Amino acid sequence: MTSAIQNLTPDVLFEIFSLCGPTDFSARLSCTAPFNLLKVCRSWRAVALERLSLWSSLNLSIFHGDCPDSQGGSCPHFIHTPLVCNQILQAWRHCIERSAKCPLNITLDLTVESLPTPIAEVVRTTFEEHHRWRKCYIDYMVNTDNPTITKLDFSFGCQPNLEILSLRIANGFRSYLEKPFLLDISASSRLAKMKIFFTNISISRPVGRMEHLTSLHLDEVNAEDLSEILRNAPSLSILMFGLSGDAEPFRGIEASMIHLNELKYFHVIIISKAINVLSHLVDVLCTPALVDLHFERLSRRELPQSNLWTGLKNLFQRSNPPLERLILHSRGDRRRLTVRLSENHSSDGPLISILEGLPGLKELQIWGAIASSRLLRALTRDQAEAGGSVLCPLLTEVIHEDNFDQIEIRSGNGYDGRALED
């Protein structure tokens, strides 16, 4: 008699084998699919070798940032064993070669004090195959500068298979990469999520239409590139960026309005030198579904005078969004917020106008000189200051009310942002 498993067709076996992935290079390779499938029998080996996509999903995760012995002499972790690291490199290359032209699904999650040369070669080999990436997550947090990573070319050509791209590379204690990333997304019509941290991004033009792009996070991008992306990504629901460059791409409101009708989460890191650029971007946006807005300031210095708050008022009047959380910083760093020495009353009018149109607001945070005492009084139900109406009626719980340059108020039930988590 033959067992039922021996009667399975190659197609059924392939579907079963596919459920064993991705290949986990952090475990013993002899016990990891698809390598272990080769040793069962001839028919399994034949199926595993013939179906190239079985070799296209690769995962290597190493978390060893607090090594008790920097030289590895007394630490048992495999990262200190050259033989194991070389085996990982050879197996990684084997999978890349065996998968031929199949799109690659890759996860590299490396948090270590110092990276062995073979593992650095794994990273380099992965970047050489960028044209085959479909889903790529690289989180590289290594405290010691690695020359292999320093020499990497971050200019990526056309990526027609790309669906998800998440890159965070901190090579040594200089967390911000000196080399910019140059991306060609002219043919990336399948792109759904893109997150790139710790570097400046440049985009090759023209930018293709990206109907599936729903989440975008760029640590620093210039205005012209961002404008091209936003005009070609109408389905964005999560948008986070730091902005640089000049305001020219956003001039001409009537002729170049950018409609992001599905945008729910909007988070901007405010840079002083780009304040006018951000003001012009706000002038051309329409975001009727917006629920959560962060204009976050990381610097301890106060923002210079600008039309940003007036532009924000116009954005809300134009879009009439169902906003539930609003965070505005004209100065950052909670530890450095001080007793209110000066106030920017020029922002009072626009900010009060904004809040008058947000009856559903559940959480409000304002830091810096824009957190004026007049605005605080208006928010805490001073009818005369609020023009005879009650601002944001759901905001009842004052978290910080002292004479400091911060205002934080929320509703009794609070704001639940878990639905927007990316």
Is there a contact between 115 and 142 (Cβ–Cβ < 8 Å)?
A: yes
User: Is residue 60 over pLDDT 80?
Assistant: yes
Same domain, 146 and 286: no
- How far is the C-alpha of 283 from the C-alpha of 311, rounded, in Å? 6
pLDDT in tens, 229-239: 999 999 999 99
Q: What is the mean pLDDT of residues 1-26?
A: 75
In a domain, 384, yes or no: yes
Residues 281 and 397 in one domain: yes
Tell me, yes or no, whether 173 lies in a domain. yes
pLDDT exceeds 90 at position 394: no
User: What CA–CA distance (Å, rounded) separates 284 from 306?
Assistant: 16
Question: pLDDT-based confidence at 138, cuts 50/70/90?
Answer: very high
Same domain, 208 and 230: no
Full residue range of the structural domain in which residue 252 is found: 220-417
| Distance, CA of 221 to CA of 241 (rounded, Å) | 7
Residue 146 maps to a domain: yes
Instruction: Determine how many CB atoms are found less than 10 A away from the CB of residue 3.
Output: 7
- Residue 361 is part of a domain; what is its CATH number? 3.80.10
User: What are the pLDDT digits (tens) for 176-198?
Assistant: 566 778 888 888 899 999 999 88
Cα gap 315→260, rounded to integer Å: 12
Q: Which of 178, 195, 213 is the last residue of a domain?
A: 213
Same-domain check for residues 160 and 305: no
pLDDT at residue 253, as a whole number: 43
Co-location of 165 and 253 in the same domain? no
Using one digit for the tens of pLDDT, what is the confidence trace for 318-339?
999 999 999 998 887 665 555 5
Whether 125 and 273 share a structural domain: no
pLDDT higher than threshold 80 for residue 264: yes
Phi, psi (rounded to 5 degrees) for 363? -150, 130
pLDDT of 250: 63
Q: What is the pLDDT of residue 76?
A: 79
The dihedral through the CA atoms of 263, 268, 272, 274 has a sign that is negative
How high is the pLDDT of residue 384? 45
- State the first-to-last Cα distance of the chain, in angstroms, to the nearest integer: 52
Q: What pLDDT is attached to residue 36?
A: 81
Place of tokens 């190239």: 52
Contact assessment for residue 105 and residue 57, using Cβ atoms and an 8 Å cutoff: yes
Comparison of pLDDT for 175 and 268, the residue scoring more: 268
On average, the pLDDT of the chain sits at: 83
Q: How many structural domains is the chain composed of?
A: 2
Contact 176, 197 (CB under 8 A): no
Local confidence band at 59 (pLDDT 50, 70, 90 cut-offs):
very high
At which of 183, 213, 243 does a domain end?
213
Give whole-number Cα distances, 119 to 71, 82, 85, 344, in Å.
Answer: 16, 10, 6, 53
| 244/194 same-domain check | no
Instruction: Give pLDDT, residue 319.
Output: 94
Considering only 130-144, 158-172, 394-408, which range has the smallest mean pLDDT? 394-408
- Is residue 400 scored above 70 in pLDDT? no
Specify whether the CB–CB gap between 387 and 357 falls below 8 A.
no
Distance (Å, rounded) from C-alpha 37 to C-alpha 317?
61
pLDDT-based confidence at residue 240 (cuts at 50, 70, 90)? very high
Q: What is the model's pLDDT at position 31?
A: 73
Do 199 and 231 lie in one domain? The reply is no
Residue 334: what pLDDT? 61
Domain-embedded: residue 41: no
pLDDT on residue 1: 42
Residue 29 has pLDDT above 80, yes or no: no
pLDDT, position 348: 82
Confidence check: pLDDT of 164 > 80: yes
Per the domain annotation, does 33 fall within a domain?
no
Query: Within a domain: residue 120?
Result: yes
User: For the segment 282-314, what is each residue's pLDDT rounded down to a tens digit?
Assistant: 999 999 999 999 998 877 788 877 788 999 999
* Residues 201 and 260 grouped into a single domain: no
Q: Residue 184's Cα: distance from chain center in Å?
A: 18
pTM: predicted TM-score of the whole model, two decimal places: 0.86
- Give yes or no for a contact between 210 and 233, defined as CB atoms under 8 angstroms apart: yes
Over the chain, what HEC string results?
CCCHHHHCCHHHHHHHHHCCCCEECCCCHHHCCCCHHHHCCHHHHHHHHHCHHHHCEEEEEEEECCCCCCCCCCCCCHHHCHHHHHHHHHHHHHHHHHCCCCCEEEEEEEEECCCCHHHHHHHHHHHHCHHHEEEEEEEEEECCCCHHHHCCCCEEEECCCCCEEEEEEEECCCCCCCCCEEEECCCCCCCCEEEEEEEEEEECCCCCCCCCCCEEEEEEEEHHHHHHHHHCCCCCCEEEEEEECCCHHHCCCCCCCEECCCCCEEEEEECHHHHHHHHHHHHHEECCCCCEEEEEECCCCCCCCCCHHHHHHHHHHHHCCCCCEEEEECCCCHHHCCECCCCCHHHHHHHHHHHHCCCCCCEEEEECCCCCHHHHHHHCCCCCCCCCCCCCCCCCEEEECCCECEEEEECCCCCCCHHHCC
Q: How is residue 96 written in tokens?
A: 């890349």
List, for residues 67-124, the tens digit of each pLDDT value: 766 555 577 788 888 898 999 999 999 999 989 889 999 999 999 888 899 999 999 9
Do 268 and 387 reside in the same domain of the chain? yes
Q: What is the pLDDT of residue 143?
A: 85
Same domain, 394 and 287: yes
C-alpha closest to that of 395 among 349, 363, 352: 363
The answer to whether position 302 is within a domain reads yes
Co-location of 225 and 288 in the same domain: yes
- Residues contacting residue 172 through CB under 8 Å, at least 6 positions apart: 142, 143, 144, 145, 146
- Residue for token digits 């200051």? 385
Structure tokens at 391: 């601002």
What is the tens place of the pLDDT at every residue in 351-393? 888 998 898 899 999 988 888 878 887 887 644 444 556 788 8
Identify the band that residue 254 occupies on the pLDDT scale cut at 50, 70 and 90.
very low
Residue 3's pLDDT is what? 67
**Position 90 in a domain:** yes
pLDDT value at residue 291: 96
